[in-house]
Amino acid sequence: MINQIRMKTEILSIMKHIATFIASVTIITLSTLNGTAQNVGIGESSPNVKLDIKGTNGNDLLNVKDDNANSRLYVEEGGHPNITF
């Protein structure tokens, strides 16, 4: 019985590590980190500034929301910003 509990605990631990690894790989494929220049790119493989965001397929670029899910900073595909205070 004790061995079964230990085995279940080990399996859960391994599954957690695998899930963390998969999440990390997904994040890495969606974004780029240039450690030398300390730049981050989202949708951009060669970020030239601290945060470089490239939209795709006609999607808007950025949507920053508050804790009530209200958009506070929104940048449309064409670069038109909308800032709400």
Question: Stretch 24-32: mean pLDDT, rounded?
Answer: 56
> Mind listing the pLDDT tens digit for each residue in 38-57?
888 888 878 888 888 887 77
HSE-up (13 A, CA, CB side) for residue 30: 7
Inform me whether the pLDDT recorded for 61 exceeds 70.
Answer: yes
72 Cβ partners below 8 Å, 6+ apart?
A: 64, 65, 66, 83, 84, 85
What integer best gives the mean pLDDT of the chain? 75
User: Is residue 60 within 8 Å of 74, Cβ to Cβ?
Assistant: yes
45 Cβ partners below 8 Å, 6+ apart?
A: 32
Model-wide pTM > 0.85? no
Report d(CA 53, CA 41) in Å as an integer. Answer: 6
- The SS3 assignment for 60 reads coil
Going by pLDDT thresholds of 50, 70 and 90, the confidence category of residue 17 is: low
Inform me whether the pLDDT recorded for 66 exceeds 70.
Answer: yes
